[in-house]
Amino acid sequence: MRIAQLVRVHLGAVTVLFTLALSACLLVAGLPRAAQGSFDEALRGSLATAPAAQADLTVSVESRSPSGDLHQRSEFDFRDRRWREILPAPLRPLVTAPGHQSAKTVLTPITGTGGHTYINLGWLSDADQRVEYVQGRAPGKPSSMTYENATIPVFEVGITESALKEMQLQIGQTKVLGENDYVAVKIVGAFEAKDPGDRYWSHNLDILQVTKIQPPGKLDFEKHITTLIPDEGLAVLSSEGRNLGYHWILPVDPSEATALAAPDIDAAVADFDRAIQLQASGGGYHLQTGLPKLLALFLAALGTAQTVMYLVLGGLLAVALGVIALAVLLLGDRLDHTLTLARARGGSLRLVAGVAGGVTATAVLPAGLAGYGLSYLVPGPALPIVHLGPAVVVLVAVGFAAARAARTYRTPLHERREDVAATRPSARRITLEVLIVVLALAGAYLLRVRGLSGGDPFLLLVPVALTLAVALLTLRCYPYPLRLLVRLTARGRAAVPFLGLTRAARARSASVLPVLILLPALGVSVFAAVISDGITTTQRLASWEQVGAPIKLTSNIEISEATIDRVRALDGVEQVVIAQTGRVQVGYTAERAEAIAVDMAQWRHILAGAPIGLPALSDGALVSPDLRGRGTFDIGWQSRVKLATRGVIDSVPGFYTEGKFMIMPLDVLIRPAVNTLLIKGDVSLDALARLVPSATVESQERALSAIQDDPLTHAVRWTLLVVTVALAAYALVAVVLSLVVGAAERARAVSFLRTLGLSDRQAQRLTVLEILPMILVTALVGLGLGLLLPYALGPAVDLSSYAGDLPVGDYALDLFTPLALAAGLAAVAVLGAYAHTAISRRRNLGAVLRVGELT
């Protein structure tokens, strides 16, 4: 037989199969690429936004004797090259940019301050590229001076301009450092960072900022600052009598990171640390980095994203294959007369199966190649599924067509009357189906009880088993309520309800395939919609928890009343609630707690309609769990205040989530020093920032955008949306194809009945009653399965990484999507039934009745 001629004759069915195979191959190859590309983007964003001190690799050593001191830049360069040579292979793509080296002392007190003020000495290999002097001059060669009858070195140093004021120092001033082995520093210049926002300064914050430390049990703070010395000072800098450390910074390039390589980095970092300890002469070298921790957090979020995506993409592939099988079934029905005649004339079974497979391959093979090629337009790496997915689609379609033909035409002539009586299932089949249902229920129970450990494939099997179990139960139970309805309608005088429901109850075995397609299609699409809606709801809650008000303005200094009045006068401002925050003394001890003084009634008013709330408070204080049970507090803030405990609050939205904290009424303070404004209204954040330059402005909408715009979160929600739409489309296609597959047999039956006086209106009602029960039952069961899956899988899937670190567990029952899908399927079924009867009405009854007869 000529396959090309058969393709031309049945071009409509071939085109449908080509279109479905093309869409399936494009989705199965393109979505994983897009998802993996989003994973890579998320990892790069995570590394780029993390402090460089965490992401970069820092090799450090503490010099314990003058013999181990480094005095020349070349000594640092030599070791830098050595560290790069022994980098493990997984780290080499990440560490390509040049780094920098430093030498710093720590805990170097100013003589005579009793250990309250420290000036450390620091050398940066690229200081001339990073800072510029705004006062005085750059430091030069060290000199010497006599102190307590001994000659000590004097280092010329530069200091950040802000530290001059904070530590009450002056240019030209000389300070002696140490308690026994003394050195002196002469401040000759003040500098500023050329780019204070550069990630580089994450490694050297001690140079830009004064560090304040409150020793345990003390009320006063220690102040620490690191000054800069030149290369000439490095030659004199010694570890004798002071704590001196050397550091080599190997910067990690976030743009070279990939999610696929991330699991290997942890082991590579450990190997690098061991290699450093073995290779370095003198010992004491070790690796400092937070890269494994950053990757662990990312991989935890990635694992959840991959799990969710594997579930929905697996469901999408299964549904796509089912719809393609329906299309193959449609094409097989179109070839039925030709293949039956060929078999009756002596054609071999191999020939018949080969023709069916060849015609199918003519449609799906070009579609697979086209879908595979189009997937390369999607940005992202080519995973194994990108290559295997289209091949699986093509092989399943061709294999199903050939196997069906071999089974159908195994005898030269075949007569099928599956619409007359249903075959009784074998004991082996019943046992297998019962086993599947039991295993699915046991798996769901165990998943609810014990959760899921990372990498456990059990999670992927439970949804599949549940879907299969529900499908089997639906297929087994579906005919019984219909038979009951048939008995009820048999007592009536109208023939159409009886005939329509009878044909539905005796549907041919091919109707099983639409059920197996619609169930996972609706189940997975509703599951994806519910998960996406749960993430969206929790994201909104997290944004309110982070900010605590529509707009929050916090200042590090007091906000004057005149400024507050100007804020109230801005266009769009509806209400302003003033508050004061700070650390308070608890009792007369060194214990400290965070506190906020605010008019709680006004704050509760601006939170009206928000997903968060606050308890009422008129007097006393609300305290954190760490402060519960203490009765009345004696608080030291601006003055001594006594407050009775009025309740316990786990967190204060926008302010405190853990530790010791309390909320008190604003009027307990004699003169509030307002440093926080809670604002309601539609006002420009930039205008507020310009009005209060010392303040940081946050908004709930901006916080929500930051959560939603996270690359990993965006990838999960985008994939869920695409899969939901694709599955809904496949479900509708399955309904249409199920109508078309049985169209010939249905037209023949309606034509017989029309010869007996069946009117066109009755024919329409008959067709609707035959089709609609299967659609409605399957739709309702599939929707119920989709609504159940989030609760069944809830303990095993942690979605907090995509919802502002809040657990996603409150899946509100939003019936819009389920009802829309059910209504769409029902509407398509009804319209298809009416279209079918309209087409059948135009056919010649004699021609229809002769279709398929071989006598």
Digit-coded pLDDT (tens) for 650-675: 999 999 888 899 999 998 888 888 99
Give the least confident one: 554-558, 595-599, 688-692, 830-834: 830-834
Q: What CA–CA distance (Å, rounded) separates 203 from 103? A: 12
Q: What CA–CA distance (Å, rounded) separates 675 from 716? A: 39
Q: What is the mean pLDDT of residues 524-547?
A: 84
Is there a contact between 244 and 103 (Cβ–Cβ < 8 Å)? yes
**Phi, psi for residue 371 in degrees, rounded to 5:** -65, -40
Q: What is the mean pLDDT of residues 96-117?
A: 87
pLDDT at 454: 46
CA distances (Å), 395 to each of 365, 400, 714, 734, 735, in order?
Answer: 9, 8, 33, 20, 24
Q: H or E element: which one contains 361?
A: helix 349-375
The residue among 356, 434, 440 whose CA lies nearest residue 399 is 356
Q: What CA–CA distance (Å, rounded) separates 221 from 581? A: 20
Is there a contact between 535 and 808 (Cβ–Cβ < 8 Å)? yes
Is there a contact between 210 and 224 (Cβ–Cβ < 8 Å)? yes
Residue 105, classed as helix, strand or coil, is strand
Token output for 115:
């250990």
Residue 259, classed as helix, strand or coil, is coil
Q: What is the DSSP letter of 158?
A: E
Q: Is the pLDDT of residue 729 over 50?
A: yes
Higher-confidence position of 413 and 27: 27
pLDDT band with cut points at 50, 70 and 90 for residue 846:
low
193: left (phi over 0), alpha (psi -120 to 50) or beta: beta
165 contacts: CB under 8 Å, gap ≥ 6: none
DSSP line for 383-423:
-HHHHHHHHHHHHHHHHHHHHHHHHHTSSSS----TTT-PP
Distance of CA 761 to the CA centre of its chain: 53
pLDDT band with cut points at 50, 70 and 90 for residue 246:
very high
Q: What percent of the chain has pLDDT over 70?
A: 87
Q: Is 103 exposed, middle or buried (0-12, 13-18, 19+ CB in 10 A)?
A: buried
Digit-coded pLDDT (tens) for 156-213: 999 998 888 888 888 989 989 888 788 899 999 999 999 988 888 999 988 988 888 7
Is there a contact between 583 and 592 (Cβ–Cβ < 8 Å)? yes
598 contacts: CB under 8 Å, gap ≥ 6: 577, 578, 579, 580, 663, 665, 666, 676, 678
Identify the residue whose tokens are 């970092």: 269
Give the least confident one: 404-413, 537-546, 671-680: 404-413
pLDDT at 191: 93
- Cα torsion 320, 325, 326, 331: sign: positive
Q: Where are the domains of the chain?
A: 57-288, 557-693
pLDDT at 302: 81
Count of CB atoms situated within 10 Å of the CB of 674: 21
Answer yes or no: pTM beyond 0.85.
no
CA atoms within 13 A of residue 216's CA, in its CB half-sphere? 0
Is there a contact between 139 and 157 (Cβ–Cβ < 8 Å)? yes
Identify the residue whose tokens are 């071939």: 14
The residue among 616, 665, 621 whose CA lies nearest residue 644 is 621
Strand partners, 189: 136, 158
Q: What CA–CA distance (Å, rounded) separates 737 from 510? A: 11
**Phi, psi for residue 104 in degrees, rounded to 5:** -145, 145
Task: Enumerate the H helices of 239-347 as residue ranges.
Answer: 262-279, 291-334, 336-344
Q: What CA–CA distance (Å, rounded) separates 528 from 358? A: 37
Count of CB atoms situated within 10 Å of the CB of 731: 28
The residue among 229, 14, 193 whose CA lies nearest residue 104 is 229
Q: What percent of the chain has pLDDT over 90?
A: 24
Digit-coded pLDDT (tens) for 52-62: 989 999 999 88
**Phi, psi for residue 657 in degrees, rounded to 5:** -125, -15
Is there a contact between 195 and 225 (Cβ–Cβ < 8 Å)? no
Strand partners, 644: 632
pLDDT at 207: 92
Q: Is the pLDDT of residue 216 over 80?
A: no
Higher-confidence position of 792 and 100: 100
Give the least confident one: 375-384, 606-615, 689-698, 760-769: 760-769
pLDDT at 329: 87
User: Mean pLDDT for the chain?
Assistant: 82
Torsion of CA 73, 77, 83, 86, to 10 degrees: -150
pLDDT band with cut points at 50, 70 and 90 for residue 455:
very low
pLDDT at 418: 47
pLDDT band with cut points at 50, 70 and 90 for residue 385:
confident
pLDDT band with cut points at 50, 70 and 90 for residue 852:
very low
pLDDT band with cut points at 50, 70 and 90 for residue 829:
low
pLDDT band with cut points at 50, 70 and 90 for residue 467:
confident
Digit-coded pLDDT (tens) for 399-415: 999 998 888 887 765 55
Q: Is the pLDDT of residue 499 over 60?
A: yes
Strand partners, 551: 679, 699
pLDDT at 100: 92
Spell out the SS3 assignment of 658-725: CCCEEEECHHHCCCCCCCEEEEEECCCHHHHHHHCCCEEEEEHHHHHHHHHCCHHHHHHHHHHHHHHH
pLDDT at 230: 92
Token output for 676:
């926080």
Q: What CA–CA distance (Å, rounded) separates 528 from 31? A: 15
Counting every residue, how long is the chain?
855
Give the least confident one: 237-251, 662-676, 728-742: 728-742
Is there a contact between 471 and 511 (Cβ–Cβ < 8 Å)? no
Q: What is the mean pLDDT of residues 797-822?
A: 70
pLDDT band with cut points at 50, 70 and 90 for residue 226:
very high
Q: What is the mean pLDDT of residues 763-775?
A: 75
pLDDT at 416: 52
Identify the residue whose tokens are 């000759």: 188
The residue among 354, 340, 356 whose CA lies nearest residue 413 is 340
Q: What is the mean pLDDT of residues 286-311?
A: 83
Q: Is 34 exposed, middle or buried (0-12, 13-18, 19+ CB in 10 A)?
A: middle
Q: What is the mean pLDDT of residues 710-715?
A: 76
Q: What CA–CA distance (Å, rounded) separates 750 from 499? A: 10
pLDDT at 457: 54
Give the least confident one: 31-45, 414-428, 683-697, 790-804: 414-428
pLDDT band with cut points at 50, 70 and 90 for residue 103:
very high
Q: What CA–CA distance (Å, rounded) separates 413 from 434? A: 36
Q: What is the mean pLDDT of residues 367-382?
A: 90
Digit-coded pLDDT (tens) for 561-613: 999 999 999 988 999 999 999 988 888 887 889 999 999 999 999 998 898 88
